[in-house]
Structure 1
């Protein structure tokens, strides 16, 4: 079916198209006039939200949160807010409302829930396209009532948003209180362990004591080196004194031994001189010989005493070196013990510092969260409260008529095409050609005669076709 055929069909069935159009327009006009007038009141809200995590304290602007505006719209249209509106306006206490509820639901359910569902059906929440303004509209037959409900929805949404923000803060505040108590106990336990450790080891200041003991260890190390050097020297002198006492420097440097050697030399010289002049049995010779023997004996005794003194000195130095070595070992063990004690004490002090730091941070965050949980301030403000509408918002007769004209034309066209498909007729030579699929040789154009004939004869007279 092409466009020309469609136009022929519509022209042939124009009465049906026009009748359908008129019927739809008349029905629409009648329904629009019979419908009760409806009023709509709008209250606009400004959303200036800044999200704060109650645990971490991080702030995220609302515009960076995906779906924030859609979430707020869902909150406005939630049943929780609707129930708040019902309670605010005390709609469930009206006897007429209760009677209507019993008639509609046979007393099943709750009046508050039923009213909340009715209010949500007539609620219209519209966000602005590129701003943080939201329009809350409510429609109904009573202008005073629709304005009151629109303002009630705006105010109860503000209260609900505050509650949704404050409740997590309060729960977080309780959590922080529990954690603060636990961390305070941890600090007390760590401090108790540190104090007990200091008392058990008698530690006042481990760093100062460690410095004193370290200095003493260094002094003992220097004394041990000096004692070892003296012991080596004394040992060498002892070996030399015990081997050849006469060649020992200590023996040779002894003044008494030197005097005895000088006296012994003089006595021997005197004995030699007397031996040349007198015989061996002469009393002077025997006296000189006895003096030489006495001096030699005294010299040998002094040499022996001096050698023994050198050995005793080496023994004393060996004992001193052993004592210093032992004291050094004990001091080294003491320093190592102090190092171990300091390490253990540092661990305990770090435990105390860590517990104290955690307690301070948690206490500070808990105080901040507690303050935020007590501050019932909303980030939402009513920009324009709803006012009582003076003109109805519906039904819109002119708009309905325009829509009825469009719908009537579509229905008329559709009815004409459907009837044509049910009763297909030949309306042009193309229809005949398509139906019979044979060549077309001519067209008989029939027209009504110009003269009018009345009566029965006029209806019985044959019509004259024209061959073209």
Structure 2
């Protein structure tokens, strides 16, 4: 049975003291997210060990064997249990559930028990405990806050008194008033400005005097450089200069009449001009001396002004430090005073809040004794079982697809490797070996498609689906390079047993059926198979022809028209060196001249380096992957080996495809259709 009670959480309880008075315990919250956090916190408190333990203690549930064993009324357990209050509280919490009602301030508290009366009694007691603990916690928090505030108030009062005394002592020590600091600072600033202006003026006069002195120093050598400014300032200097000019003109006039410098008149004129010049230079020197004296006076005055300015600056800095210290002390006192007043006010408000505190949680509906049980629910259990079965089946299918990292479809090839798929070859079965993986739909039943020689199925059954697939690959190769057909085709695979020899034979037969002279060359010098396919020995082949150049003896006719085959020949100790040799390249060039197409069956890429070497000599490199066998990481490694030697992969051929699998249905159903010729008709008969 399940009994339930309804609780209400009021996020904005009434405030008897008004909105201006804040409560110490903030049981009301503002924003939506804060309310949600508050609600979730309360739900956890209801389900807490503390509430459950108090409920157990009030109802003595740790002594109630019916509760401990979850038995209906009147039943007694076969083996009584001894549990303390904490253990019984854990049992109660396991049967307790809190469910909020959406878009409301309500929550439902439920307790499940085999006894309906006991379930209702437990729910009602638990909600009462929770409501009482909520208000008691608020009282306790308020009492702690009041005690902390009172202690803080006393400390702030002591700090405020000490700060006031320190400020008074500071003002008394420095003999200042708070209003006098600003005035003194202004006076010092004005004094500094006056000294600075006077110093700037004197420095300008110094520059002017220095310039005059410099100009007058140049006149001692050449009186023509006498500055006009000096002439304007000194009438004596101006008169002497005019006299000097007059004597010069008189001298020049006498000399211009043809009288030489030794003539008495010329000598007298020259003497007068020299005397005038000497008198002029003497006056210039007098002025220069006066200017130098004036310059020294100005420099002395500038030094005095600079000293006064520096002294005033120091006084201003000292006053500034004093002002900063005063304002810091004054600010500290005011801050302490404000904080003290705030704490004092908050302490009084907290006391009033405790007296007027209201509980913001209330019981809306108390639990009633339930009439009907809730468990077991047979229809629900059956539905859940079916749903879990479906989910487990789907998970198993998805997990299988995720863990399968093999290549399966052309989409895998193009998406994982960026390589075009040239075609898909169905799985080929051998006669007498039982049903193959490839099954054709025929007259509503499934039959295996088997062949005596799987490698020659294109020749033996030219109307079979395998032959159609090989011809489709031939067509795709033709259209990939219609103007310059691929002469040499290299077929390789990532690893062994992926069917590359079978695919190579099928492609070679399909090309021969198109009327082209084709030769298939077995370059797998480690595990040669081509000679077994066509039923001849391997005593003559690639290795012998590369050494003696006898192509006629090595290239043997086969039962397929237009198709020749060259076996591997005696296996050499180091196949890679032979395939890289000049003789092998010469052999390959001769084959390209003699035949229309050269199909090379090479070793796997991952196992040895032979295929990578051969790829550099081929016009097209085709990679065979086996569906549901070739792993993507192995194929990616093989393609990387080709790219390292600079060989682009022409395309991929997916081998051993089972078209009855779900991934090949739809767009890949091209080969899987009822397309039969005479051969298949015989098989049906």
Q: Which has the higher contact order (CA 8 A, sep 6+)?
A: 1
- TM-score in terms of structure 1 length: 0.43
Largest Rg, 1 or 2: 1
- TM-score in terms of structure 2 length: 0.30
Higher helix share: 1
